Structure 1
Amino acid sequence: MSVTEMFSYIQGFLSADQDIREDIRKVVQVLEQTAREILTVLQSVHQPSGFKDIPSKCLKARELFCTVRNHTGELKTKFPVEQYYRYHEHWRFVLQRLAFLAAFVVYLESESLVTREDVAEILGIEVNREKGFHLDVEDYLAGVLILASELSRLAVNSVTAGDYVRPLRISNFINELDYGFRLLNLKNDPLRKRYDGLKYDLKKIEEVVYDLSIRGLAKELEAGGDK
């Protein structure tokens, strides 16, 4: 093979790779738009009137996740199965965002932590990497950490809306999350940095709970619960 032929072959490879990346980017852009739509729906729960309408907001978000599953199904076809991590950077951010949104919906519905398996099912993708397009463990954990930040904001807005019980439950939930993450030996730099932000979320929630305690609201609520 001559030098010219060799570089012509390489150019063909690069062109094919660029075509794949462009196809992936187009689908990811649509996924990002759908993620923004889901976030817009869920953001209304931070409004005083939104607390009364949480079930309908979650239902609407669930409907939008049907669109997400259609797009992830399309995304799977845009690259060779064995080259998942070659193109992972293209969808990593949006997948983390969607994992957070799925976790937020489940929390609003049941105040529990969604499993990685359930997130993968909501998004229409796999859990095991051997099966192809899957939810990476680190992407799932990043989504959970974004959830913690969102809940710290919800705790503050709950007080504004006159809901003094929710911040106490959020505090317990975030403390459990913090304990869980302490069990992990995180070596991934981006994930480790995001986890470091969890202590600030925890501090913000503790300040809300402390303020409720100072005002005597927390004791009143506990007494009411005992009765």
Structure 2
Amino acid sequence: MDKSIFKELQTKIDHETSLRDELSSRVETIDQETKVLRLLLGEVEISNNEVSIDITRSTEVIKVKIQELAKLASEHSYYKYVNVWDRTIQEVACLILLATWRGALRGHEDKKYQILTLEEVGQILNVPVYPEEVKFHISIEEYLHGVLSISSELARFSVNAVIHGNKEVPLKSLQTIENVHSSFQLLSLKNDSLRRHFDSLKYQLKRAEDVVYDMRIHNLLD
């Protein structure tokens, strides 16, 4: 057997490994910035006006880094490498949805207490969305995971809001989670990961309901 065949295969393996490492490196830089953005979003309840500037700046950094990733990824097979970045894009989608829901993203204050569409998330990040299938894009599944994740964040925000005397956020959170829950029931989820994620939504709904219930029995609602 001609051993040169294996040398050629090794060259291809080395190239693929190098490419995957480069993609992973770019994803890691996005992950680092999403941690910053998540921390900033946790401060919205305390200093909304001041922190919104930093949230907008952090979002712009993420936007640039995702565009850099998209440029490299679009030169290669999407479905071969999508597992490198899909969880990161889910997290980014969640944080963008959360920032706009809180009215903390400059230029998108009119989206407060609303869930952005997939297309709107793509516009903010300036990257393609489904049905672009060949090149890098935000998939439907990544977006839906982001929507489900925001429900968990809103349930947590409800508790923090009560502590800081905000009566509106718990009510809006419950309303949003209820809408997400009812909307997802219209879907026929074939994706196992999405179905499991949706199954956990009922716990977030119960958590948000409990917060509002406690507010009522303690006469905290007008």
Asked if TM exceeds 0.5, the reply is yes
Partners of 1:54 and 1:108 within 8 A in 2: no
State the match for 1:61 in structure 2.
Answer: 55
Partners of 1:155 and 1:205 within 8 A in 2: yes
Is 1:92 the equivalent of 2:86? yes
Partners of 1:20 and 1:78 within 8 A in 2: no
State the match for 2:20 in structure 1.
Answer: 21
Is 1:126 the equivalent of 2:128? yes
Tell me the alpha carbon deviations over residues 16-44 of structure 1, each in whole angstroms, 9 at most, x when there is no partner: 10110011011111111111111111111
Q: After TM superposition, list the pairs within 5 Å mapping 1:164-183 onto structure 2.
A: 164-183=167-186
- Larger mean CA deviation between 58-67 and 11-20 belongs to 58-67
Tell me the alpha carbon deviations over residues 64-86 of structure 1, each in whole angstroms, 9 at most, x when there is no partner: 12211221222123345451121
Compute the displacement of 1:154 (Å). 0.7
Compute the displacement of 1:214 (Å). 1.8
State the match for 1:116 in structure 2.
Answer: 118
Is 1:148 the equivalent of 2:151? yes
C-alpha RMSD over aligned residues: 1.6
For 1:63 and 1:119, locate their aligned partners in 2 and report how far apart those are by CA, in whole Å. 16
Task: Report SS of the residue matched to 2:102.
Answer: helix
Q: Which of 181, 186, 190 is equivalent to 2:189? A: 186
State the match for 1:107 in structure 2.
Answer: 101
Amino acid at match of 1:64: S
Compute the displacement of 1:185 (Å). 0.8
Compute the displacement of 1:131 (Å). 6.3
State the match for 1:201 in structure 2.
Answer: 204
> Could you say which structure has the higher helix fraction?
1
Partners of 1:58 and 1:108 within 8 A in 2: no
| Pair 1:114–1:79, CA change in 2 (3 A) | closer
Amino acid at match of 1:29: E
State the match for 1:43 in structure 2.
Answer: 42
Structure 1 segments unaligned to the other structure (5+ residues): 222-227
Structure with higher Rg: it is: 1
The TM-score normalised by the length of structure 2 is 0.90
Compute the displacement of 1:161 (Å). 1.4
For 1:149 and 1:80, locate their aligned partners in 2 and report how far apart those are by CA, in whole Å. 32
The TM-score normalised by the length of structure 1 is 0.88
Compute the displacement of 1:126 (Å). 0.5
State the match for 1:72 in structure 2.
Answer: 66
For 1:111 and 1:62, locate their aligned partners in 2 and report how far apart those are by CA, in whole Å. 17
Structure 2 segments unaligned to the other structure (5+ residues): 104-111
| Pair 1:131–1:56, CA change in 2 (3 A) | farther
Tell me the alpha carbon deviations over residues 46-92 of structure 1, each in whole angstroms, 9 at most, x when there is no partner: 5xxx1xx2243233212112211221222123345451121111111
Compute the displacement of 1:99 (Å). 0.5
Compute the displacement of 1:158 (Å). 1.3
Q: Percent identity?
A: 30
State the match for 1:212 in structure 2.
Answer: 215
| Pair 1:69–1:164, CA change in 2 (3 A) | closer
